[in-house]
Structure 1
C-alpha cells in the first residue's frame, strides 16, 4: 500500500489514493505536528503545547495517548509508515517525499540548484502545484497559526523565485496579470515590485514601470517612513536609463535576464549544525515560543539572549535552533562571531555592521563610514524583511545594541557569558539561561560520541562526565580521546584524567567548571604527537579568526601537506574546527589555552619567528594578487578572479594583521600590507575599512621614523577621508602629508598633495585657498616639466574662475590646458576641457567636436573598465547635449553616471550629477521629478559639507516649486540659496564641474 500525506491544505492521509479517516480536529492537529517534524522526535509536552496551547485539558497527556493510538491504527499496515515512542518523544517514521510539505521543500531545493532555467521552472511549478489551500486549513491553535504564517511566507518566496526564473526565460507577458494581483496583495514587497517593474519595462511599458516604482516609494514612505532599498533604486535607474542589461533574452540560468539589481540578496550565513547534538529540549522549546505571535498578530522584533558559562554549549544550541527554524526567516540569516572575550581582537561594531551590509548586497563604496550611519543603513536594509540575526559571543550591551534591526519582523539571537541585564531591561530581551548539561543528557552526548562503552562501563562514564563538569566542549574533547583509544577501558582513562587534574592543581574549592575544562584540554593536548601539539600552540597565536592550510604551514614552518595532516589530527581531537572554504578555527577557550601553552613552551624568538613567517605569507599573497589584478605594462600571468577571491577571503585577516602589527611591533609588515592593498581597497572595498588600515600604516611609519612611508599613507588616508565625505579630516591629513613631502624634497608628490588639498578647499567653498593651492601645484609642475600636471592645475584654476563669474579668465585657462593636452595626445582630457568650455554661459564652443571626443572617450573608458572615467565622460557628454537642447539624451547620460558614481562611492560627484539631472528634467518640463532629484542632492550635499551644491539644490527645488505653483515654499528655498551664494561670494550660476582627487 502506498501512502500520501498532506498539510498544505486540510490535514489528510491517503492510502492507494483513497482518503483515510484520521479523526476529528484535535487528532488531525497531532498528525499535522508529527508530519511537520517527520523523522524527528516530538516530546509529549511539545505535542500538548502545539495541539492545545494554553487551553490544554487537565488530563491532556491521557487524551494525547488515545489520539496517538488511533492514528497508529489508521496507518497500520502501510509500508514504511509508523508512529513510535523513543527516548526523545514520539516519532512519525515516513518517507519525507510522501508528505506534501517536505516534497515541496525538496522540489524547491532542486529547482534553485537546477542547471537550467527551464528545468528550474518545471521543478518550481511542480512544488507550487502541491499547495491545495492554506496549511492546516480547518485547524487553529497558536502554534499552528504561527507555523501557517511561516509556510505561507515560504510559498510566497517560492513564487518570487519562480517569477525570477520565468523573467529570465522571457515569459514576462504571461507573468504580468499575476504580478499585478500579487503587487496589490503585497504593496510593500520590494522584490515583487522589482519583478513587476522589469516585466512592464520588457513589455514596452517604461512609463508604467516608472509609476510602479513611484507607487511603492510612496507606500514605503507612508507605512514605514523609509525609502526603497538600494536594489530597487538601482533597477529604477536602469529602467529610466534604458540600460541594455535589462533587455534580457530567453535562455538558461546564468544568462541574461533578471539583473542582480532586481532581486534582494538573501544571505545564509549560519555555521554548520553541530553533530551529535543532545538534550536542551526545554531551552529549544523556550526559543520555539518566540515564534508564536501574541493574539495572532505578527510577532514583534524579538531579542533572545542565551547566557551561560564558557563551554556550556551556547553557540551549539543557538546554531541548532537557528538551523531548525531557518525556514521561518525566508529573507535570510545573518551571523557574526563577535569574539567579545578575545582581549586582543574583539570584533568592532562598525566592522560587524560592514560585514552584514556586504551580506545584504550593499557594495563596498556604498557602506557609510561611521558606526551610527552604518547602523541606520543596516536598519533600513532590514525594514520589512523577515530575518534571523545570530550575534555569537557578545561581551556587552554596547557591542550588540547597534546590531539590532529596527524592523518588527526580525529576530535577534545573542549568546554571551554575561547575563547582559541591560538587554532585558531596556530592549525587552527574553533570557534563556544555560546551565550545565543534566547528567542524563551529558551521558546521552557521550553515548552518541563513543557508543556502547557508556553502557558497558556506566560508573566510569558517569565519572568521566563529572570530570568534564558536564560541559559539552569538554565532553567532546574527552570523547574524541576515548574514541581514539578503544583498547583502553574508560575507567583507566578517567583515572588518567584525574591524575592530570591533581597534578595541574586546577580544581579550586569553589568547583569552577572552567578548571575542569582546562584539565580536559591538558589531558587531550598531552596525548597529541609532538608535531601536532606544536601546531596547536602556534595556531593560538594567529590574530585572525580562521586560517587556510597555506597560512598554517607558514606559521609552523612546514609544507601545506604536512600542515593539512596535522590539522586533521587536531580536528579529530575536537581541538580545531573546520569551516567554510577550507578554513580552520578554534573555540575561543581553546585559543586562549593554546596561546598560554605557546607562551610556556615556545621561546619568545620562536613565537615571533612563527608570526613573522605568517605575516610574510600574507604579504606575499597580497603582492601576488595585486600584481595579477593591476599589472604594470605586461598582461597578468595569474587568474584575476582567483586573485580577487583570495583578497576577499583573506581581507578580514589582512586588516586584523595591520592592527596587530602596529600594536606588537611588526611595523614594516603593516606599512607594506597597507601600501600593497590600498589600490584594491580604494577601488572596491569598504572605505571605512581601508581608512582603518591606512591609519595603522600612518602609526607604524611614524613609530619607525619612516617619513616617506608616513607621507604616502597620509596622502592615501586623505583621499579616503574625502571619499567618505569628511573634508575637514581630509584637509588636516593632506596638510600633514604636505609638510613631510616638503621636508623630504619630494616635489612631485608635494605637487599632487597640493592639488588634492585644493580639491578639498573647493568642496568646502574656500575658493581663495583652493586657488592658492592649485597655483602652487602649477608652479611645481612647471619646474618639474610635467605638462600633464600643469594642464590639470590650469583646468582647476579655470573652474574657480568660472565659479566666481570670470568667464573670460576661465576660457583663457581652459584654452591653455587644451593646447597642452593636444600636444600630449590626451584625447580624454582634451574632451573634458572642451565640455568645460561648452558649459561656460554665453560663450561659443565647438559642441560637435566636444561631443565627438567625448563619445570616443566614453567608448575607451568602457573598454578598459574604468568606471570613474566612464562616469565623468557621461556627465560631460550630458552637458554638451543639454547645450544642444537634446534633453532626453542628457538625462539618460546623467542617470547612467549616477549609477556609476554610487558604485564608485564618489559622493561629491553624485551630488553634482543629481543637481544637473534636476536642471535637465525641469528644462524638459518634469518639475516634480526635478524637485525629487534636487531634494536628493540637498540631502547628500549637506551631509558631505558641499555648500555650493547645497545652494544649487535649494535653487533647483525653488524653481521646481515655483513651476508647480507653490510660491511660498519656493521663496524660502530661493532665500536659502541666495544666502549661501552670497556667503561663498559666487554668482548663482549653473555648475561647471568639480575637480576630483587622485
Structure 2
C-alpha cells in the first residue's frame, strides 16, 4: 500500500481489478485483523457520494477480491458479526511491516541496529500511499501515513548522525529541508551534518534560512534548541564532534572504490548481458546473496569486464561499491584475507581500533556492516574459495562480483555463484579493439592486423601492450612488427596456464621489454624486486643506483610503454603480471650479487629515511610510505636482510609508538623479532619483543602481551640487561593490572622498583612508586596511594621531569581530600599538553587530555572535561590504543552523567562495556556496568539498572575493589 495498491502471490501480481475495488482492499488492509462494518466500507470507499446500490456493488467487489487472493496462504476475507474482516500476516503487508520495523528501531539497544531497522522500514516505501486512489478517507489516511514516514525519517537521521554517517545524509537532508522548510528538528539535523562535513558557513546559512522562513510565515523565531545549536556551531564547540562509537571515516561512509573505467573497452556483449540478468530479482522480492564469478586465463580481460560492468550498474547500489585486488596469483604478496577485511571495514567507516584482530571476527563485523545496505563488492584476482569466502556479505541486498583464473567450483557448489567464463576475444572483437587503439592501420593492413591479433592470443592485455608499441613505432608497418614478434616467441610459464596455448602473452611482454633502451630495461627488471605495491622515485633511484632525476626520466619511458603506472606524489606502480615478469627477467639477466646489491641499496634508502633527524620530515615520510613499510620489513626478514630489518624496525618504532597505527607497528616489530632470531642477536630480539609486547597490550591483547614480555624478560635476564629487565617487569605489571590481577601486578611493580634501586635509577623508582600507588588507590587505600605519589613527585621534581610531575599531580587530584592539588595539576597538565602537541606525539597527547579531563571533572568543569575526553578518544582510535579507549569511554560516561545527560552517558558506558569485555579488562567492564546502572537509575528505570549494578558489584568484589565511583574518583 505504500505506493500503488498491489498484491503478489508467489511472486506473481494478482489482478485486483479497478480503482474502486482496490479501495476496498486498501481499507481492509489498513484495518487488517479488525472487522469493518458495511457502512464504514461504503463511507470509506465512496465518501459522501455512494450510489443507491452501493451495498450490492460492495458485495460484488468483495467476491472478486476473494477470488484474486485465493492463492495467498493465510489471507482471507470473512464476514463476521461486526462486519468484514481481512486475516493476513501483518509482516506480509508493507504498511504494517513499516510500523513494526519503525517501532523496533526506536526501541533498539544500539544505534547500528536502529539504523538497520529504520532503514528497512523506509525501504518499503515506493511512493505515496494508495497512489492513484482518491477518496476522502484514503486521502486523510495518506496524509497521516506520510507524517509517520517523515517522523521515521527524522528518527533515522538522528541515528545516522550519531553513527557519524553525516556525509551520506547530506543529499537526503537537503531535499527534505526543501520539502519541510519550517521544521526546526530537520533544520538542526542538516546544520549538524554540514558542520561535521567541515561546512560551518553552510550550516550558518541553513540557520539563517529557517530563521527568515519562520519570521515570514509564522512571525516567530527559532526555538531555544536550534538557537543553542547555532551558537555551538559558530563557537566550534567540542561537544559537536563525532559521538563516541562513530565510524572512523564518518564523512565518507559511502565508499566508491571502483577503479577507473577501462578506455576503449570492446566487445563482451554476451557476458555483459549475462551479468545484467543477475540484477533481475526472481518474483520481485529480495533474492539471496548474488555472487557472480568471471573466470578465464590470465590477460583475457576479466578485470576490465568486471570494472566496466560495475560502472554500468553502480547507480543501482546507492550504498557504495567496494573493491580489492586480492593479487591471488602474486607468488610472494597475495593479499591476506584479514587485510582485505580491514580495508573494507575502514572504507565502511569502522575506525582502526574497532577492527577485530581475527579473520572470523572481522568477517562477522563486515557482514554486520553490510546488513540492510545495497552494495556492490568487486573481488579482483582471487586465487581460491578460501580467499573469497570470508569476504562475502550475509545479505541479499548486496551483489559480489569475483574475477579469478580458477573456475572455483566450490564457490559455485556451496555459494551458488553464477559463473561466466571468458574465452579469448572473438577475432572481430580483437580487431575492433586494435582499431580503437591504433586506428586506420588495421583497415590498411588487414592481414597483418589479423596476424597481430593472433600473435597476441586475442588477449586484451596483450593487445593493448602491442597497440602501445605500434603507436610508438607509427612509421613501421604492422607486418614488420608481427614478423619481429614471431622471431621472439617464447612461453611465459609464470602465467601457469598449464600448457594452454591460448596464454602465450609473454611474447608480447618480451616484445615490449625489448623495445626499451638498456637503462630503462634495467630499471624495469629491478623494479620487479621491490616488495611493495608502489615505489617513490627516490626508492627507485636507490634500488637502481641512479640519480633521482634520471630515475624519474626512465620511469617516464616505462610509463609510456604501459609497463608502469604513474601515480600521485612521484609514486609508480606495476601490474602484477608485469611485476612477476620483471622479477623473472631480473633472475635471468642480472647476477645474484647485483640483485642483492640492489635490494641492499633499497633497504639502506628506507633505513636512512626512517632515521631522518628532522622529526617532522620523518613523520611526513612515514605517512607517505605507510602502505609499504610493513611489507618491506616482512620481505627483509624473509629474504635475509636481517640487520636492515632490525635497524629499520628500531628506527620506525618511536614514530609508530607516538602516533600509530598500532596494528602496523606490531607487524613491523614481529618482523624484527624474526630477523633478530635468525641472526642470533639476542639483544635485538629482546628489544623487539619488548616493543611488541607493548603494542599487544595497547591493542587489548593482554595474554599475547604477557607471553611476549616473558620471552623478552628471559633474554634480558640472561644478557644482564637489568635496566631493560626492570622496564619489562614493570610492563608485565601493567598487563596484570589490565587483567585485574592486582596482587600479581603489585609483585611485578615491586620487583621493578627493587631493580631500579640497585641501579640507582631515580626515574625508574618514581615510576614504580606511581604504579604501586595506582594499585593502592584502586583497592581503597587512598592514604597509602597519596604517600607513594608524594614520594614519586619529589623524585620527579629533583629530576626536572615536568611531564611526569603533571601526571602524578593529576593522580593526586583524583584522591579524596586532595582538592588543593587541583589547580596546580591543571596548570602542569596544560603545560604538558602544549609541549606534546608541538612534538606531534599523538599518543602522549591522548594521555594528557585524559588526565586533564579528570582534573577538570573534579573541578566541576564538566563541559571542558567532556571535550578533552572526546578528543582523546579520537586519538586513541586513530592510534589503535584499545585499552586506553575503554577507560576514556567510561570516564566520558561519568562526566556526562554528572552533567545531566544520562542518555549519552549510557551510550558511552555501553560502548565501553563492549570493548572492555572484548579485550578482557575486568575493571573497566565493572565500571561500565556501574555507569549503566547509574544512568538507568537517573532516567527513572531501576529495573534496567538492577542487573548492571549486580554485575558491577560482583566483579568489583572479585577484584577486591571496594567501590567503583570512589575508586575512579573522576567526578566528585
One fold, TM greater than 0.5? Answer: yes
- Evaluate the alpha carbon distance shift between residue 276 and residue 173 of structure 1 in structure 2; reply closer, same or farther with a 3 A threshold: closer
Residue 530 of structure 1 aligns with which residue? 518
- Secondary structure at the aligned position of 1:759 is classed as helix
CA distance in 1, matches of 2:757, 2:186: 63
CA distance in 1, matches of 2:791, 2:494: 81
- Evaluate the alpha carbon distance shift between residue 707 and residue 301 of structure 1 in structure 2; reply closer, same or farther with a 3 A threshold: same
Aligned residue pairs total 786
- Evaluate the alpha carbon distance shift between residue 666 and residue 986 of structure 1 in structure 2; reply closer, same or farther with a 3 A threshold: same
- Whether the 8 Å contact between 1:367 and 1:687 is mirrored in structure 2 is no
Matched, 1:943 2:927: no
Q: How does 1:301-340 map onto structure 2 within 5 Å?
A: 302-329=290-317, 332-340=320-328
Q: Deviations over 1:829-861 (max 9, x none)?
A: 334333333333466754444444445545555
Cα displacement (A) at 1:416: 0.9
- Whether the 8 Å contact between 1:173 and 1:199 is mirrored in structure 2 is no
Q: Deviations over 1:490-537 (max 9, x none)?
A: 334434433433899999999723552123333443444333333332
CA distance in 1, matches of 2:483, 2:866: 81
Cα displacement (A) at 1:796: 0.6
Cα displacement (A) at 1:732: 1.1
Residue 615 of structure 2 aligns with which residue? 629
Cα displacement (A) at 1:869: 4.3
Matched, 1:244 2:237: yes
Cα displacement (A) at 1:265: 4.7
- Evaluate the alpha carbon distance shift between residue 844 and residue 743 of structure 1 in structure 2; reply closer, same or farther with a 3 A threshold: same
2:908 to 930, 933, 948: 933
Residue 821 of structure 1 aligns with which residue? 796
2:435 to 412, 422, 447: 447
2:541 to 553, 556, 565: 553
Q: Deviations over 1:10-47 (max 9, x none)?
A: xxxxxxxxxxxxxxxxxxxxxxxxxxxxxxxxxxxxxx
Aligned-pair Cα RMSD in Å: 4.6
Matched, 1:957 2:929: no
1:737 to 691, 696, 712: 712
CA distance in 2, matches of 1:530, 1:588: 22
CA distance in 2, matches of 1:426, 1:994: 56
Q: Could you tell which deviates more after superposition, 816-825 or 566-575?
A: 566-575
CA distance in 2, matches of 1:508, 1:371: 29
- Evaluate the alpha carbon distance shift between residue 327 and residue 619 of structure 1 in structure 2; reply closer, same or farther with a 3 A threshold: farther
1:981 to 956, 960, 968: 956
Q: Deviations over 1:909-936 (max 9, x none)?
A: 3323333344444455555544443332
Q: How does 1:19-168 map onto structure 2 within 5 Å?
A: none
CA distance in 1, matches of 2:679, 2:860: 59
2:579 to 563, 570, 591: 591
Cα displacement (A) at 1:762: 0.7
Residue 965 of structure 2 aligns with which residue? 990
Q: Could you tell which deviates more after superposition, 843-852 or 611-620?
A: 843-852
Residue 661 of structure 1 aligns with which residue? 636
Residue 635 of structure 1 aligns with which residue? none
Residue 882 of structure 2 aligns with which residue? 907
Residue 27 of structure 2 aligns with which residue? none
CA distance in 2, matches of 1:977, 1:929: 20
- Whether the 8 Å contact between 1:553 and 1:559 is mirrored in structure 2 is yes
- Evaluate the alpha carbon distance shift between residue 452 and residue 844 of structure 1 in structure 2; reply closer, same or farther with a 3 A threshold: closer
Q: Could you tell which deviates more after superposition, 839-848 or 607-616?
A: 839-848
Q: Could you tell which deviates more after superposition, 720-729 or 708-717?
A: 708-717
2:695 to 713, 717, 720: 720
Cα displacement (A) at 1:963: 5.2
CA distance in 2, matches of 1:594, 1:979: 64
Residue 283 of structure 1 aligns with which residue? 271
- Evaluate the alpha carbon distance shift between residue 559 and residue 198 of structure 1 in structure 2; reply closer, same or farther with a 3 A threshold: closer
TM-score by length of 1: 0.70
1:343 to 312, 315, 331: 331
Cα displacement (A) at 1:339: 0.9
- Whether the 8 Å contact between 2:194 and 2:200 is mirrored in structure 1 is no
CA distance in 2, matches of 1:507, 1:420: 17
- Whether the 8 Å contact between 2:379 and 2:403 is mirrored in structure 1 is yes
CA distance in 2, matches of 1:194, 1:409: 29
- Whether the 8 Å contact between 2:456 and 2:504 is mirrored in structure 1 is yes
CA distance in 2, matches of 1:776, 1:731: 16
Residue 771 of structure 1 aligns with which residue? 746
Matched, 1:686 2:661: yes
- Whether the 8 Å contact between 1:758 and 1:773 is mirrored in structure 2 is yes
CA distance in 1, matches of 2:822, 2:934: 27
Q: How does 1:844-859 map onto structure 2 within 5 Å?
A: 845-858=820-833
2:447 to 442, 446, 459: 459
Cα displacement (A) at 1:438: 0.5
1:916 to 869, 891, 896: 891
Cα displacement (A) at 1:344: 0.9
Residue 601 of structure 2 aligns with which residue? 613
Cα displacement (A) at 1:798: 1.0
- Whether the 8 Å contact between 1:497 and 1:519 is mirrored in structure 2 is yes
- Evaluate the alpha carbon distance shift between residue 965 and residue 658 of structure 1 in structure 2; reply closer, same or farther with a 3 A threshold: same
Q: Deviations over 1:691-740 (max 9, x none)?
A: 11211110001111112211111111011101110001111111222222
- Evaluate the alpha carbon distance shift between residue 286 and residue 991 of structure 1 in structure 2; reply closer, same or farther with a 3 A threshold: farther
Q: Deviations over 1:512-566 (max 9, x none)?
A: 2355212333344344433333333222222222323333332222233433443
- Whether the 8 Å contact between 2:297 and 2:503 is mirrored in structure 1 is no
CA distance in 2, matches of 1:514, 1:190: 58
Q: Deviations over 1:363-410 (max 9, x none)?
A: 545544333344444445555555443322111122223333456554
- Whether the 8 Å contact between 1:183 and 1:193 is mirrored in structure 2 is no
